[in-house]
Copies of this chain bind each other. A is one copy, B any other.
């Protein structure tokens, strides 16, 4: 099989490095690589550049010229930090601003007047301390507050410069890199921006062999703040801390007509992390930064195109402000986007970027001695094949739903080259990817006739970027199921209702988070729109604390729709109606009810006897199903990823949509196997997600059943009109 498939070449990017010329030639042939790339820490030798592969070259412009950064320390990137909360024990309180932070990452900004830019907050009252009641002691790095009230807690929001670039710092600390501590400049300073364009032009001119400029990425890293223990204190791949600066705040005021305060950024120490329900000011800030980055990115791409090269965006690291799911993303003119891909959710995130450009995913493991959690990888004790396969199995099924254009790896080829079994596995994987790409022909597979809408405070902008709740598996399960998925914000639903083509809405998460929705569930437009839409035939799937906000006598605002409610401690004196678990519900037909979830014990109950309890007991419901008017709802107390959970979700979505018939269309009988059919190419594929041989039966849409036996993890293609 390997021989036959390896003739299909291309769509594969191989990380090469100087000194590995022969290995590169050999592996490029085995893996079918048509492009080679450098990585952070590797370079391509002149010999490699002449091999005839498409050459990718990596560039992070904001840290490309350290001499400039050193000469313009006031153009380094900034942010607001919040000092550690301190309780006053008298009328004077001195706070060490950098206590708890890694002191090599940031420096306190002494250029901008603290009394104008900073805020000292009494967190016990929520009030700002008047500026005349505190002083910044620059020599000690402290703030002294006078007239504090004993027992009150104080914090300082203060501006810093970042003096060590996050990626550089991470690699020094985690991967024991040595060498210079890089600094990143902020292109919002016009002088620096002009300079970076000159750097870019020079860089382009120096690389005649480079075909693709892989920008890593544009201007601002996602939030990545280290603690004094030299380890990550706060990391949020979607958080807009890093574009903050005094200059940006002034420009924001001109653009949006109001001034942001330090507290708009610090957000009581939550730093507007993606789990927070975003405030209007924070959404405006995102929009403002996006506007700048689109302009800057457009300029970079124009320079790259002018040099006769193509521009590829790395959908990670300094991607903040690029917003690939925004309608303005296309304005920048990128030719391609590449992203790291750990699982099915990340595959969908990259593959579904709504722009007609090349999409590439970088698979794991990265060719580094250690893995993501510091575990051994390409060194003694590591098992890179197991790591790669574990991730590939999830990615593969998501690829069946939406196939990217290319795959690739990153890191030190010299490390990977020492693991023959890994080289074999990648050969197999590359062939399997190309088979998927060829089999589907880049077209969309058969999908249910209704869409699944994911409802949260972010909507489309954070498509496939939502944080998973309680077990963390609903989105991962969904990534490989035969449904088109759309991400909706509460604002979308409030203003335009539930879109016509959505059959089931999904709302998951902890109460008060952006995922569940928090105060959005007090917006009568949202509540009424969803309730009425379900009544008229819609489906709702809730996980954890869906629709949760304590108001008007309910905690789950759609408790009547969901058929379940959570007792937060105020219902203990009310008797619960006796509801016995329901046996043999449609949703459980493939799996039974034998599931365990992380959940808050003893607090979810059915307020009405009409609710069907599918798993758990009255008072500790794990899965419930309910009908509401012409619609239906399903509740899960948690949602870990597993093959039975993926099947449960498939059944729950079809049941909620009132389309049980869909379970007979392009589904497999054995839940360790899955399938996808491509009407445009007339082919379908069956995959075995398990390490053992599996027999399964595929139900085609035309009611045929095809029996298949698959080897461990095998995928096999068939013509749709053939019989097994």
Contacts and interface: CB of A to CB of B under 8 A. Distances in A.
A151 B275 contact: no
B535 A89 contact: yes
Interface in A226-251: 227, 229, 231-236, 239
A584 interface: no
Interface in A531-568: 531-533, 535, 550-554, 560, 568
Nearest to A229: B577
Interface stretch (A58-66, A436-444, A505-513): A505-513
Q: Which of A87, A270, A598 has the most C-beta atoms of chain B within 10 angstroms of its own C-beta?
A: A87
B529 A151 contact: yes
B600 A123 contact: no
Nearest to A597: B601
Given A123-B554, A552-B153, A602-B598, A512 B85 contact: no
Contact of A553 (B123, B577, B599): B123
B150 A570 contact: no
B273 A570 contact: yes
B569 A512 contact: yes
Q: Which of A273, A511, A531, A598 has the most C-beta atoms of chain B within 10 angstroms of its own C-beta?
A: A531
A276 interface: yes
Nearest to A574: B234
Interface string A574-587: 11011000000000
A629 interface: yes
A570 B571 CA distance: 25
B89 A629 contact: yes
A527 interface: yes
A428 interface: no
A511 B600 CA distance: 14
A124 interface: yes
A193 interface: no
B573 A532 contact: no
A528 interface: yes
Contacts of A275: 569-573
B268 A575 contact: no
A574 B233 contact: yes
B629 A560 contact: no
B573 A236 contact: yes
A124 B232 CA distance: 42
B575 A232 contact: yes
B268 A151 contact: no
B152 A575 contact: no
Given A151-B527, A229-B577, A575-B234, A270 B568 contact: no
B553 A270 contact: yes
Interface of A: 82, 85, 87, 89, 121, 123-126, 149-153, 155, 223, 227, 229, 231-236, 239, 268-270, 273-276, 467, 469, 509-513, 515-516, 524, 527-533, 535, 550-554, 560, 568-575, 577-578, 598-602, 629
Given A123-B553, A149-B528, 4 more contacts: A273-B573, A467-B572, A598-B601, A599-B601
Closest 7 CB pairs of A and B: A510-B569, A151-B528, A268-B553, A151-B532, A123-B552, A269-B553, A151-B531
28 contacts: A85-B553, A87-B531, A87-B535, A89-B535, A124-B524, A126-B551, A126-B552, A150-B528, A151-B527, A151-B529, A152-B524, A152-B528, A227-B577, A232-B575, A233-B574, A233-B575, A234-B575, A235-B573, A235-B575, A239-B573, A270-B553, A273-B573, A467-B573, A510-B570, A511-B569, A512-B568, A512-B570, A598-B602
